[in-house]
Structure 1
Amino acid sequence: MEKPRQGFWGLWNISFGFFGIQIGFALQNGNMSRIFQALGTGLDDLPALWIAAPLTGLLVQPLVGHFSDRTWFGRFGRRRPYFLAGAILAALSLILMPFAKILFFAALMLWLLDASLNISMEPFRAFVGDMLRKDQHTAGYAIQTAFIGAGAVVGSAFPYALDAWGVSNLAPAGQIPDTVKYSFWFGSVALFVAVLWTVLTTKEYSPAELAMFEGPSADNDATIRALASRSKTRAILWIVAGAFVVVMVGISGLEKEVYLLGALIAAYGVASLIAIGLAQSGRSNNVLSHIVGDFSGMPEIMKKLALVQFFSWSALFIMWIYTTPVVAQYMFGSADPASAAYGDGSNWVGTLFAIYNGVAALAALIILPKMAEKFGKVNTHMACLLAGSAGYASFLFIRDPNLLILSEIGVGIAWASILAMPYAILASSLPASKMGIYMGLFNIFIVIPQLLVATVMGSILKAFFPTEPIWTMAFAAIVMLCAALSMLRVKEEARATL
């Protein structure tokens, strides 16, 4: 049997919750560096404070994907309870964030906010696969990307709009401006209402219905059997590699955040060692063995797209951390977070972020489908990533803030494709019974580069250009170019089977 074809409003309802989730992400991405600096942190310490965001995603997304695949809450469904729980916690975090008076509290709220947004976001990717026929996956992810862009426009532009309406954009040292406070409180309401809309207007297919639509379930124990046959040598090598990184931090004097990178590498080795041991002893019915087994048994096309995601999101995370200090210092002439010029630069960054997200929303609906139809999804994604690389590189030469709008058009085209094309290529290749866990594992390759940037970029900045953050945009341009070149490994034959 084939799933019923969804009309426009069905596609709308399935993805409308992402509009609210992205408002939350936009407020986080556009304002957290400003909040941290207002509370006294230095430029080279920003990546360390941002570590909480990707670290929580690394832990939360595979767990939510695993459990949402294996649970059924009756009329409440399998994915929608996670949407709602995450939205409630994220709204609470947005309400509390502006009350931060010390860095520890702000970092704690960032951790809670990002974890909550990930609880809601991760199942939405699988939700499209659950609810739509394969021939509607591209349309479903395009609509989702449009809502992501629209939500980011609203979240990014709101502080600037409040400033234009007369709300104070300045605050004494150690305090958060009113424009940021009111934006976070507005975002909490918008996020909750949007997610609630999807929860109330959609009805999920039961496991029995999905079995009728998808045919026989995937062999969920295949990856466990493969795990049980693996040698423990590779896991031990991961542990050794992590320990080596930790030792090198002490020897070379790298920033202390790099300790976390070494610890995570070693932790993956320990988790793999335990999971292999459990599988080999016959105790395979546990979360760890399933997640490690599924991770090591990813489909081949997923592995190739994972490398593309790694480079793409490295560039994006550099942009989110450093655009505010770059624009404030080089286009508005101030590196002082307490100055009016810095505040003007911060607000302009919010506008620029709104522009690239607006471009992404339009590109997802108008440009990408036509390009994909004519040139194929692989070539389309490669071209869009090249546009993003050019956008980042232009920051090195532009000093008129208005001309940065041209830069953001390139970034917006890349952003649209990053949010839609890899998922459109991948979704139809995944078994329905593992849609959640594989989408969660795929999103690890969004999180890992963020952790790498957060742990390593501060050391690079401090060592080579402590007062010249503009060079971070050169890094962003180079790694986005690497993402485009990585698409050469994704063959058109894989695309043709979708």
Structure 2
Amino acid sequence: MEKPRQGFAGMWNVSFGFFGIQIGFALQNANMSRIFQSLGEDIEKLPGLWVAAPLTGLLVQPIIGHMSDRTWLGRLGRRRPYFLAGALLATIALFLMPESPSIWFAAMMLWVLDASLNISMEPFRAFVGDMLRKDQHSIGYAVQTAFIGAGAVVGSLFPALMEAAGVANVAPPGQIPDTVRYAFWFGGLALFLAVLWTVVSTSEYTPAQMAVFEPANADDAPTGPALASRSHIGNVGWIAAGLAVILIQLEFALLREVLLLGTLLIGYGLASMIAIALARRGYEKNMLSSIVGDFAGMPPLMKRLAAVQFFSWSALFIMWINTTPIVAQYHFGTTDAASAVYQAAGNWVGELFAIYNGVAAVAALTLLPWLSRHLGQARTHMVGLACGAIGFASFFLLRDPTQLIFSEIFIGIFWASVLAMPYAILASSLPQAKLGIYMGLFNIFVVIPQLLVATVMGSIMQALFPGEPIYTMAFAALALMMALAAMARVDTASITQ
């Protein structure tokens, strides 16, 4: 039995909460480097402070995906309890962030904010698959992408709108401007209300209804036996790699954040060993064994797309960390974070981010569906990746701040594609009973590259291009060329498997 078709109003309600979530992400992405520098942090140390964001996503998303697959709270449903809890925590973090008395308090609030946004965001990806028929997945994720773009426009423009309303955009050294403060407060309120709209305007299918829509065998084979038969050799390799990273950091005095990368590699190896040991003893139903087993048993299509995501999100995280320092230094001519010129550059970056998100919102509902009909989903995403590479590379050629609008148009097309096409390709091939955990695991390949950028990029820039952040855009363009090569392996035949 097929699910009922959702009309536009139904798809609107299903994804409207993402509008608020993306306001929170946009405020974070466009303003956290500005906040850290306003509080006195050096530019070379920004990636280390940003490490909180990907680390929380790495830990939170698989856990929330696993839990939401197994949750049913009566009228509140399966996914919506996580929407609501994450939105409440994120709102609190947004209200506290601009009151940060120190860099470390701001970093802690970034950690809380990103964890909370991930608690809400991860189930939203599965929610589209839960509520829509398979033949509506593409348009469902396109609508979600449009809300992501619209929310990001609003979040990115908040500081500039505050300044236009007469709010002070400059603060004494060590303090955060009122434009940013009020933007975070209004953004927190908008986030909570948007998520609340989805919670109250939708009604999830019960477990009994879902069983009718998709037979029980969609659960696939239990992960326990397959996990129990796995060798520990690969886990020893993860641990050895982690130890090697730590030794390299100590030997060459790299940034301390590199130690975190080594620790995570060791942690994954140990966690896998424990999961295998539990499965061999018959305890395959625990969360750790289930997550590790599902990660090890990802479908082939998901593995191909994971490589594309890895390189794509490496480029995006480079952009979010470095655009404000780049624009301030190369397009406004200042590195003084306390100056009015720097704060003006920060507002212009917010407007540029609004432009690329606005382009993404329009492209998701117009350009991408048209390209997908004529080229197919895989080739459409290749076009999007190429546009991103052009956008990042153009930062080297353009010096007038207004010319960067052209860069953001290309980046906006790429952003729309990366938010919609991989999920549209993937969603219909995943078993419904594991949609939450697989979406959570897929987002690991969004998080890992961000973590690598946060831990390694600072050391690379300090060694090769000290004080020249614009060269990070070269790394971003190169990463997207590698994503393009990886996407070439995801052809039409692989999508239909």
Pairwise TM-score range, normalised by the shorter structure: over 0.9
Counterparts of 2:220 and 2:367, CA distance in 1: 38
The 2-side partners of 1:219 and 1:450 are apart by: 31
Please give the secondary structure, in 1, of the residue aligned with 2:469. coil
Tell me, what secondary structure is at the counterpart of 1:333? Answer: coil
Alignment match, 2:169: 169
**Amino acid of the structure 2 residue aligned with 1:7:** G
SS in 2 for 1:352: helix
Does structure 1 conserve the Cα–Cα contact (< 8 Å) formed by 2:301 and 2:495? no
Counterpart-to-counterpart distance in 2, 1:114 and 1:239: 27
- The answer as to 2:451 corresponding to 1:451 is yes
Superposed, 1:67-466 pairs within 5 Å as: 67-219=67-219, 221-466=221-466
Distance 1:484 1:32 in 2: 29
Q: Aligned AA for 1:95?
A: F
Question: 235-244 or 189-198, which moves further after superposition?
Answer: 235-244
**Aligned letter for 1:380?**
T
**Cα distance, 1:220 vs. partner?**
5.2
Residue deviations 1:258-298 (CA, integer Å, cap 9, x gap): 00011111111001111111111112121100000000000
Query: Any stretches of 5+ residues in structure 1 without a counterpart?
Result: none
Q: In structure 2, how many angstroms separate the alpha carbons of the residues matched to 1:170 and 1:161?
A: 14
Task: List structure 1 segments (4+ residues) > 6 angstroms apart after TM superposition.
Answer: none
- Corresponding residue of 1:472: 472
Decide which moves more: 447-456 or 457-466: 457-466
Cα deviations by residue, 1:358-393 (Å, 9 ceiling, x for unpaired): 000000000000100110000000011000000000
Asked if structure 2 preserves the Cα contact closer than 8 Å seen for 1:363 and 1:413, the reply is yes
Q: Aligned residue for 1:54?
A: 54
- Larger CA deviation: 450-459 vs 225-234: 225-234
Q: Distance in 1 between the 2:218 and 2:243 partners?
A: 37
Letter in 2 for 1:420: A
2:223/2:284 contact within 8 Å kept: no
Instruction: Return the offset for 1:88.
Output: 0.3
Q: Aligned AA for 2:126? A: A
CA RMSD of aligned residues (A): 0.8
Distance apart, 1:466 and its partner CA = 1.3
Deviation at 1:469, TM superposition (A): 0.6
Unaligned runs of 5+ in 2: none
TM-score, normalized by length of structure 2?
A: 0.99
String of CA shifts for 1:29-83, please: whole Å, max 9, x gaps: 0000010011111001000000000000000000000000011111110000000
Q: Distance in 2 between matches of 1:221 and 1:37?
A: 51
Aligned with 1:470: secondary structure? helix
Q: 1:233 offset after TM fit, Å?
A: 1.1
CA distance in 1, matches of 2:495, 2:285: 34
- Matched residues in 2 for 1:192 and 1:339: separation? 33
Shift of 1:221: 4.9
1:495 aligns with 2:495: yes
- Separation (CA, whole Å) in 1 of partners of 2:233 and 2:482: 31
- Matched residue type, 1:179: T
Cα deviation, residue 219, structure 1:
4.0
Question: What's the secondary structure of 1:218's corresponding residue?
Answer: helix
Query: In the alignment, residue 57 of structure 2 is paired with which amino acid?
Result: G
Aligned length in residues: 497
**Distance apart, 1:223 and its partner CA:** 2.1
Per the TM alignment, residue 496 of structure 1 is displaced from its structure 2 partner at its CA by 4.0
One-letter amino acid of the structure 2 residue matched with residue 436 of structure 1 = G
Specify the code of the residue in structure 1 equivalent to 2:242: G
Tell me how far apart the structure 1 counterparts of residues 314 and 339 of structure 2 sit (CA, whole Å).
30
Distance in 2 (CA, whole Å) between partners of 1:336 and 1:484 is: 37
8 A contact 2:246–2:258 mirrored in 1: yes
CA apart distance, 1:322: 0.1
Aligned AA (2:473): M
Task: Give the Cα separation in 1 of the matches to 2:339 and 2:461.
Answer: 23
- Verify the 8 A CA contact 2:219 2:433 in the aligned structure 1: no
- The one-letter code of the counterpart of 1:336 is D
Is contact 1:395-1:473 (8 Å) kept?
A: yes
CA contact (8 A) 2:224 2:285 kept: no
Please tell me whether the aligned partners of residues 211 and 217 of structure 1 are also in contact (alpha carbons under 8 angstroms): no
Cα offset, 1:216, TM superposition: 2.5
Tell whether the 8 Å contact from 1:18 to 1:195 is kept in structure 2 after alignment. yes
- Equivalent-residue separation in structure 2 for 1:143 and 1:386 (angstroms): 23
Q: Does structure 1 retain, via aligned residues, the 8 Å contact 2:47–2:453?
A: yes
Displacement, 1:164?
1.8
Structure-2 separation of matches of 1:316 and 1:479: 10
| Partner Cα distance (1:244, 1:387) in 2 | 37
Contact 2:322 2:469 in 1 (8 A): yes
Q: Distance in 2 between matches of 1:413 and 1:136?
A: 22
Amino acid across the alignment from 1:29: N
Query: d(CA) in 1 for partners of 2:243 and 2:82?
Result: 36
Bigger mean CA deviation after superposition, 193-202 or 487-496: 487-496
Cα distance between partner residues in 2 of 1:496 and 1:276: 32
Whole-angstrom distance in 2 between the partners of 1:71 and 1:233: 35
Whole-Å Cα distance in 2 between the matches of residues 235 and 255 of structure 1?
26
Structure 1 residue 218 displacement after superposition: 2.8
1:429-470 Cα offsets, whole Å, 9 max, x none, are 000000000000000000000000000000011111111111
Amino acid paired to 2:441: L
Percent sequence identity is: 66
CA contact (8 A) 1:217 1:433 kept: no
CA–CA distance in structure 2, aligned partners of residues 14 and 42 of structure 1? 42
What CA distance in whole angstroms lies between the structure 2 residues aligned with 1:62 and 1:401?
40
C-alpha offsets along residues 122-177 of structure 1, whole Å, 9 cap, x if unaligned?
00000000000000000000000000000000000110111122111000111000
